């Protein structure tokens, strides 16, 4: 088996601050994802990466940057935190992709912006 580790578990930021979330996986999966989870809205895709140094935008990419410097790691940056923003950011990985693969999720980073 494998595991996805997200750090930090809790992140508190100030309005306008740049914040970085990190994700590591030891499945040796090619594809990694960042999702945002808001209460009552399901999960929405921010960025995904099908291999090292690849980046693809999801529907919610505005206001975020991502980086995949190694196969095992995928980081997400909130470029300017919005006041009163609260959400959980979930990292996931899959063997390949194309909409039919099982996703393996981390336990999330909970963001609060004061």
Partner 1 sequence: GNSVTQMQGQVTLSEEEFLFINCTYSTTGYPTLFWYVQYPGEGPQLLLKVTTANNKGSSRGFEATYDKGTTSFHLQKASVQESDSAVYYCVLGETSGSWQLIFGSGTQLTVMP
Residues making contact with partner 1 (CB under 8 A): 4, 31, 35, 40-45, 48, 50, 56, 58-59, 90, 92, 97-108
The CA angle 70-3-32, to the nearest 5 degrees, is: 40
Left (φ > 0), alpha (ψ -120 to 50) or beta: where does 20 sit? beta
Q: Which is nearer to partner 1, 72 or 80 (CB)?
A: 72
Residue 78 CB, nearest approach to partner 1 (Å)? 19
Residue 61 CB, nearest approach to partner 1 (Å)? 12
d(CA 94, CA 79): 26
Residue 42 CB, nearest approach to partner 1 (Å)? 4
């Amino acid at each position: 088996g494998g595991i996805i580790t997200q750090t930090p578990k809790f992140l508190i930021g100030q309005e306008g601050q740049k914040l970085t979330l990190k994700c590591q996986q030891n499945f040796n999966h090619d594809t990694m994802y960042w999702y945002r989870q808001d209460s009552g809205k399901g999960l929405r895709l921010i960025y995904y990466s099908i291999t090292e140094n690849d980046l693809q935008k999801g529907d919610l990419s505005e206001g975020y940057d991502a980086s995949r410097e190694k196969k095992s790691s995928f980081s997400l940056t909130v470029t300017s935190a919005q006041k009163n923003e609260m959400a959980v950011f979930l990292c996931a990985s899959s063997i390949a992709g194309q909409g039919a693969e099982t996703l393996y999720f981390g336990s999330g980073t909970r963001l609060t912006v004061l």
